[in-house]
Amino acid sequence: MIRSTVKELFAGGKLNEAVLLKGWVRTRRGNKKVAFIAINDGTTIHNMQVVADAEKFPEALLKQVTTGCSLSVKGRLVESLGKGQQVEIHAESIELLGACDPEVYPLQKKGHSFEFLREIAHLRFRTNTFGAVFRIRHALSFAIHKYFNDKGFYYLHTPIITASDAEGAGAMFRVTTLDLVDPPRDDQGKIDFGQDFFGRSTNLTVSGQLEGELGALALSSIYTFGPTFRAENSNTPRHVAEFWMIEPEMAFYDIDDNMDLAEDFLKYLVRYALDHCKDDLDFLNNMIDKELLERLQFILENDFVRISYTEAIELLEKSGKQFEFPVGWGADLQAEHERYLVEQEFKKPVILTGYPSEIKSFYMKQNEDGKTVRAMDVLFPKIGEIIGGSQREENHEKLLKRMREMEIPEEELWWYLDTRKFGTVEHSGFGLGFERLLMFVTGMSNIRDVIPFPRTPKSAEF
């Protein structure tokens, strides 16, 4: 007999047919005569109710049917008289696949805090909330590939180990096979990375952008979707040290084309979730965040506001608000400023452009004013920055000058500079933080709860 999933049975199970179901017990209730066993197999948020007549099964078996155990059930699919479900299974045979001792199983019926569940991240998939979150994570990964494939973008795999620091931020994890106790040293006593595995010093990538640009400057439009790593010591609900980033890069796109794409892409993903993850979103809306669905709908219905950094600073100064971090032209915006603009000033997503060159990366296209660059950050309610991107400086001389000013080692990026020498063209791109997107779509307020195994300062369990 072929196993059916809970999802299949709810979607198209035929009444009175014999079925085989396997899964984990969520709850068991009942009386001396009959047991009601709720089984979940992760294919949907819904449980299948299995009804077992006590007289048909050995008492010893039913005793072992406790929360968390795994069962294989054969029975008949029948219309349910109980509230909340259309069908249920009347059990004819029950096999205990794996017992689960209720004395030690940490996931009991009562609700657990997300902090506690993070400590048992190996088991939290079995809760309704994390089942929903990780099904949505899957659906949106798929939607991202679909969106770009349908638009003619090519998926480019950029390296995970790299010798360059794309953002010039200096917060990187080193990759080495050198003996850390007694590393080889050069004449000056410095560690000799010439003897390291790659014959040079290497790190985990902070962004695939620079290599992505190389691809776009031949294939027209590419995107990356892979893990990125940042060794910043930021213990916030919006930062992890290992996160997944989607980075499209497009030749012949200016900053306006780039903003149009970012807005269309985000709306597509929100719509995709609403269309394909309804049960999970309904659950999260009921249990986690009562305004979730409203907020998602709101993204679809509104044009994003597009203003310059300079205008944003003026608005923040005029707001009369006491911010923790001072506001002033030239200072980077903090989450509190971003959220003020989105949640209070405009009540819409905001795209900020024209940031001071001093607070942005070397590769951004310089504006004529000599002070600002064609950067763009997309700011979302509850999240703040969800996307960071820019038009890229395609002029070789200007780029080289800026790299020298910012002490970016040009000899290491000779290949990047080459593209500006050989048939350079206008181009743009951006990076969407996948976990930030998931926070927005699921309503989860801590980034650690939208990635299966979060990596944060002092924490790399599992």
Residues interacting with ligand 4AD, by CB under 6 A?
166-167, 207, 209, 230, 239-240, 243, 245, 247, 385-390, 429-431, 433, 435-436
Structure token digits, residue 292: 């979730």
Piece in contact with Mg ion (CB under 5 A), picked from 73-81, 360-368, 384-392, 418-426? 384-392
Query: Does residue 119 sit in helix, strand or coil?
Result: helix
Q: C-beta of 127: minimal distance to ligand 4AD in Å?
A: 23
Q: C-beta of 23: minimal distance to ligand 4AD in Å?
A: 33
Q: C-beta of 225: minimal distance to Mg ion in Å?
A: 18
Listed residue (70, 10, 42) closest to 131, CA to CA: 42
Q: C-beta of 458: minimal distance to ligand 4AD in Å?
A: 15
The strands making up 427-433's β-sheet, listed across from edge to edge, are: 154-155, 221-229, 242-251, 427-433, 384-391, 372-380, 350-356, 305-308
Residues 388-447 that bind Mg ion (CB under 5 A): 388
Nearer to ligand 4AD, 13 or 248 (CB): 248
**Which of Mg ion, ligand 4AD, none does residue 430 bind (CB under 5 to 8 Å by kind)?**
ligand 4AD
Q: C-beta of 462: minimal distance to ligand 4AD in Å?
A: 18
**Which of ligand 4AD, Mg ion, none does residue 431 bind (CB under 5 to 8 Å by kind)?**
ligand 4AD
Handedness of CA 96, 102, 103, 105 (dihedral sign): positive
**Which of Mg ion, ligand 4AD, none does residue 387 bind (CB under 5 to 8 Å by kind)?**
ligand 4AD
DSSP 369-416: TSSEEEEEEEEETTTEEEEEEEEBP--HHHHHHHHHHTT--TTTTHHH
Nearer to ligand 4AD, 6 or 245 (CB): 245
Spell out the residues 6+ positions from residue 408 whose beta carbon is closer than 8 angstroms to its own.
168, 362
**Element at 63 (helix H, strand E):** helix 59-63
**Which of ligand 4AD, Mg ion, none does residue 240 bind (CB under 5 to 8 Å by kind)?**
ligand 4AD
Question: Are residues 161 and 196 in contact, defined by beta-carbon separation less than 8 angstroms?
Answer: no
Q: C-beta of 65: minimal distance to Mg ion in Å?
A: 51
Closest residue to Mg ion, judged by C-beta, is 388
Question: Are residues 157 and 225 in contact, defined by beta-carbon separation less than 8 angstroms?
Answer: no
Nearer to ligand 4AD, 127 or 158 (CB): 158
Nearer to ligand 4AD, 340 or 363 (CB): 363
Question: Are residues 257 and 447 in contact, defined by beta-carbon separation less than 8 angstroms?
Answer: no
Piece in contact with Mg ion (CB under 5 A), picked from 258-266, 310-318, 319-327, 387-395? 387-395
Query: Does residue 260 sit in helix, strand or coil?
Result: helix
C-alpha to C-alpha distance for 42 and 134, rounded to whole angstroms: 10
What phi and psi, each to the nearest 5 degrees, are found at residue 60? Answer: -65, -35
**Which of ligand 4AD, Mg ion, none does residue 131 bind (CB under 5 to 8 Å by kind)?**
none
Nearer to Mg ion, 386 or 403 (CB): 386
**Which of Mg ion, ligand 4AD, none does residue 433 bind (CB under 5 to 8 Å by kind)?**
ligand 4AD
Q: C-beta of 247: minimal distance to ligand 4AD in Å?
A: 4
Nearer to ligand 4AD, 65 or 438 (CB): 438
Please report, as a single letter, which amino acid is at residue 281: L
Neighbours of 173 (CB within 10 A): 15
Which residues would be at the binding site for Mg ion (CB under 5 A)? 388
